[in-house]
Amino acid sequence: SEASDDQKFSLSEVLDPFKLCLSENKEVYLEHYVAGWRGLVKFLNSLGSVFGFISKDAANKVHILVNYLNGENASQYVTVQSMVKYELENELVDLTKRGSHPESGCRTLLRLHRALRWLELFLERLRTGSEDSKTSAMCAESYNESLAQHHPWVVRKAAGMAFCVLPGRPAFLEVMNVGPPEQVVAMLGEALPLISEVYQITEDLYAQRNLLDLP
């Protein structure tokens, strides 16, 4: 709700949902995936207005997926696996060029999936970095290794400018609102393997189905 969005962000709002993402047979629950992204959007908003254009796009995509989760075909959208199966079998995905399904669950999730890799790389750098390491550089490096490859020049430029104003590591860890730095590092160490697994399972699924380049 809007009211809870005003409250202070805590890193657990991102990490807890990703911890709940995997079912027993390693399927990815869309509900928790989307909840993790909701937390992330809130986090990006707390970093200030320069992150607005970044969080706005992520928020739009979250919104699209929430509509599927609550829509008339909700039962098809329980896991990423069931979503992919359902949308492909019913020809609800534009496979080669944009057409009548510009907001399919598959292509929408793919954008968040690519961005999740950025997050994973960035949080790993944050976890292992020293007190004086530059978050702006860590953020830019992670971005260049992942999401940047999918962005046109103008977006890369704008993202680079946003990274520049990130606070130093101590202040950054404080914004995460978990406690002392050691505690943030411990929390990241616990959650990152799970984020990484969710990422890899989604990546394998999309690769198998030849969906990694959806327009």
Binding site for ligand 1PW (CB under 6 A): 40, 53-54, 57-58, 111, 114-115, 118-119, 122, 139, 147, 155
CB 75 → ligand 1PW: shortest distance, Å?
26
Residue 32 or 114: which CB sits closer to ligand 1PW? 114
Residue 53 or 182: which CB sits closer to ligand 1PW? 53
CB 28 → ligand 1PW: shortest distance, Å?
17
CB 24 → ligand 1PW: shortest distance, Å?
29
127/144 Cα distance (integer angstroms): 19
Residue 22 or 126: which CB sits closer to ligand 1PW? 126
CB 166 → ligand 1PW: shortest distance, Å?
7
